[in-house]
Amino acid sequence: MKKSFAVIGLGRFGGSVTRNLIESGQEVLAIDSTEERVNEYMNIATHAVVANAQDENTLRSLGIRNFDTVVVAIGEDIQASILTTLMVKEMGVANVWAKAQNDYHARVLEKIGADRVVHPERDMGKRIAHRLVARNLLDYLELSEKFSMAEIKVQKSKFVNQTLEKLNLTGRFGVNVAAIRRSNGVVELAHSSSVVHEGDNLLVLGETRDVEHLDEKI
Ligand code: ADP
């Protein structure tokens, strides 16, 4: 079933969220207080409206409470971001994601009930730093404070031509192998009997420090 999304604030972040939701076939109401921004999204979003999200009556008349997910992507204006998040949550929207400018802002957003607080610049910086220092790590996704998922290239010969059962990466490194990307690009779900070949990438899941440790050794 299609979900309905509203994105409030069409700066770089909110704009990118809107474009990508539309590309993946979702319906998006795009809202911004400046006409210029809204004009940019007229032909992209399902609907685009000029509105000040800080105004409760405006949010009501837009029917915000009927959306499955609302993304509050107001950047600079922290007060507007907080007030909007608070009202959207009070109106009963089940899933509210809010963008934080800094750690204090994030704490407030969490306190007032945002279901997910995102820190795009910080998170992307972290992700890029991991990729810069990593040796064989191709991609990296932080699942929580503690856990990560990563795609790691198998480099050392002692890790190839063996089954996952024999390699025992869970016992030795504390990580689970979820899938294997073969050198031809095909992804296969991992089984204990899967054989790792030269040029394969492993999609692994584990505590971030364990994933990093495996990356150094493999
Ligand atoms: P980014 O860092 O993602 O580019 P910006 O701060 O540049 O973020 O963009 C935030 C957007 O939110 C701007 O387009 C701005 O017009 C919009 N915005 C700010 N306050 C409100 C508000 N009260 N209601 C609706 N949109 C708002």
Sequence-distant (6+) residues with CB within 8 A of 143 are 149, 205
pLDDT tens figures, 130-167 = 777 766 667 778 788 889 999 999 988 889 999 999 99
List residues bridging with 17 in a β-sheet: none
Mutation test residue for ligand 1: of 61, 77, 84, 86, the one with most atoms within 8 Å of CB = 77
Rounded distance between C-alpha atoms, residue 204 and residue 180, angstroms:
9
Domain residue limits, the chain: 4-118, 123-217
By percentage, how much of the chain surpasses pLDDT 90?
78
Q: What is the mean pLDDT of residues 162-185?
A: 95
Which helix (H) or strand (E) element contains residue 83?
helix 78-90
Rounded to the nearest whole angstrom, what is the distance from the C-alpha of residue 36 to the centroid of ligand 1?
12
Q: Is the CB of 200 under 6 A from ligand 1?
A: no
Q: Is the CB of 130 under 6 A from ligand 1?
A: no
Rounded to the nearest whole angstrom, what is the distance from the C-alpha of residue 78 to the centroid of ligand 1?
10
Q: Which fold has domain 4-118?
A: Rossmann fold (3.40.50)
CB 158 within 8 Å of CB 189: no
- As for the ipTM of the complex, it is 0.95
Q: Is the CB of 77 under 6 A from ligand 1?
A: yes
Q: What is the mean pLDDT of residues 5-15?
A: 97
Taking 80 as the threshold, does the pLDDT of residue 119 lie above it? yes
Q: Residue 116 CA to chain centroid, in angstroms?
A: 10
Mean pLDDT score of the chain? 92
Rounded to the nearest whole angstrom, what is the distance from the C-alpha of residue 34 to the centroid of ligand 1?
8
Rounded to the nearest 10°, the torsion over CA 125, 179, 174, 123 is 10
Going 203 to 206 to 211 to 213, the CA torsion angle's sign is: negative
Q: Which fold has domain 123-217?
A: Alpha-Beta Plaits (3.30.70)
- pLDDT at 132 (0 to 100): 74
Rounded to the nearest whole angstrom, what is the distance from the C-alpha of residue 9 to the centroid of ligand 1?
4
- pLDDT at 155 (0 to 100): 86
- Between helices 103-111 and 78-90, what is the axis angle to 10°? 20
Q: Is the full-model pTM beyond 0.80?
A: no
Taking 80 as the threshold, does the pLDDT of residue 187 lie above it? yes
